[in-house]
Amino acid sequence: MAGRLEGRRAIVTGGAAGIGRAIAERYAREGARVLVADIDGEAARRVAASIDAEAERVDVTAAAEIEALVEHAVDAFGGLDVMVNNAGIGVAATAPETSEDDWQRVLDVCLKGTFLGMKYAIPAIREAGGGSVINMSSVAALVGVKDRAAYCAAKGGVLALTRAAAIDHVGEGVRINCIAPGTVDTPWIERITGGYDDPAQARRDMESRQPHGRFVTPEEIAAMAVYLASDEAGSVIGGVMVVDGGMTAR
Ligand SMILES: NC(=O)c1ccc[n+]([C@@H]2O[C@H](COP(=O)([O-])OP(=O)(O)OC[C@H]3O[C@@H](n4cnc5c(N)ncnc54)[C@H](O)[C@@H]3O)[C@@H](O)[C@H]2O)c1
């Protein structure tokens, strides 16, 4: 039986770990040709080798690197149908505690990286006759999350940018949506909790704030990313797809 993404050509940024890796692996299983892009080039190559995909080291904050990344996909696959702007970082801090450097870094990777991904991928997807852009926002765009000032701002920006672009490109067959994950069990959680005095307690606190009592899995986010990339989501445009274990429902 053909996969749900048979023949689709996709780039996944931040594809070497966590959510991005789960998306790249699931896309490959669904029949897509995948380019795994990550600032950790070695890890990207390892993931790509395990799923028979392409890999490239890329910093999503560098315009020339994103432009070259899209060219790589078009050259290797003959076109581009799906762009997943997933790469992101966070810092655990309130606004007064956030340094200007941290603010800039979080905004650059999460928001500018998403902007650049759309800037270069949308023309290629249009050229291919249409397709799907999937941006990784967060529940932090929808509700205030404690100690995440810069991150909430960046992910709110990703949501607003998604909606703006969705309207701009709806007439060209390019559907643009974002996903708002709750707390997903990835290497990211270890880094965030590592900044607290008691990392194990911080991890338990993050898990217990989920109404369904557990972390969301990367595979559950990948399932949404498959849906958004597929023709089944033909009327899903400018959407914010919440996958959060009920976190924003209360
Ligand atoms: N884990 C969560 O709880 C959670 C919740 C909501 C949203 N998100 C978002 O999902 C996305 C993936 O998060 P994750 O938990 O898998 O994180 P992760 O840290 O496990 O993986 C992120 C990947 O992005 C790469 N990366 C970082 N900076 C980059 C850059 N400048 N250019 C290219 N690649 C870069 C990293 O090397 C890493 O492989 C992020 O945008 C994050 O904000 C995560």
**What would the DSSP string read from start to end of 21-35?**
HHHHHHHHHTT-EEE
**Cα–ligand 1 centroid distance for 11 (angstroms):** 15
Q: In what order do the strands lie in the sheet with 174-181?
A: 54-57, 33-38, 9-13, 82-85, 131-136, 174-181, 240-243
pLDDT digits (tens, 9 = 90+) for 226-244: 999 999 999 999 999 999 9
Q: Cα torsion for 150, 151, 157, 163, to the nearest 10°?
A: -160
Catalytic annotation present for 120 = no
Tell me the average pLDDT of the chain: 96
**Where does 9-183+218-239 sit in CATH, by number?**
3.40.50.720
Among 11, 12, 13, 19, say which to mutate for ligand 1: greatest number of ligand atoms within 8 Å of CB.
19
> Which two tokens mark 117?
């991904």
Which atom, in ligand 1's list, is nearest to the CA of 109? 31
Under 8 Å between Cβ of 182 and 244: yes
Query: How much of the chain exceeds pLDDT 90, in percent?
Result: 90
Give the rounded distance of the alpha carbon of 19 from its chain centre. Answer: 7
pLDDT digits (tens, 9 = 90+) for 169-206: 999 999 999 999 999 999 988 887 887 899 999 889 88
> Which two tokens mark 92?
């655990």
| pLDDT confidence of residue 194 | 82
Q: Which residues line ligand 1 (CB under 6 A)?
A: 13-14, 16-20, 38-40, 58-61, 86-90, 109, 136, 138, 181, 183-184, 186-188
Domain range summary for the chain, segments of one domain joined by +: 9-183+218-239
| Helix, strand, coil tally for the chain in percent (to 5) | 50, 15, 30
| pLDDT confidence of residue 1 | 60
**Cα–ligand 1 centroid distance for 13 (angstroms):** 9
SS3 220: helix
- Is the pLDDT at 8 greater than 80? The verdict is yes
Q: Residue whose CA is closest, atom 2 of ligand 1?
A: 184
As a whole number of angstroms, the distance between CA 53 and CA 8 comes to 13
Catalytic residue, from 27, 120, 151, 196: name it.
151
**Cα–ligand 1 centroid distance for 230 (angstroms):** 23
Which atom, in ligand 1's list, is nearest to the CA of 179? 7
pLDDT digits (tens, 9 = 90+) for 61-111: 999 999 999 999 999 999 999 999 999 999 989 999 999 999 999 999 999
Which atom, in ligand 1's list, is nearest to the CA of 40? 37
Nearest to 127 by CA among 165, 77, 162: 77
Q: Alpha helices of 170-229 — where are they, by DSSP H?
A: 187-194, 199-208, 218-229
Q: Residue whose CA is closest, atom 43 of ligand 1?
A: 88
**Cα–ligand 1 centroid distance for 148 (angstroms):** 15
- Tell me which of 4-18, 30-44, 127-141, 194-208 is least confident: 194-208
As a whole number of angstroms, the distance between CA 123 and CA 194 comes to 40
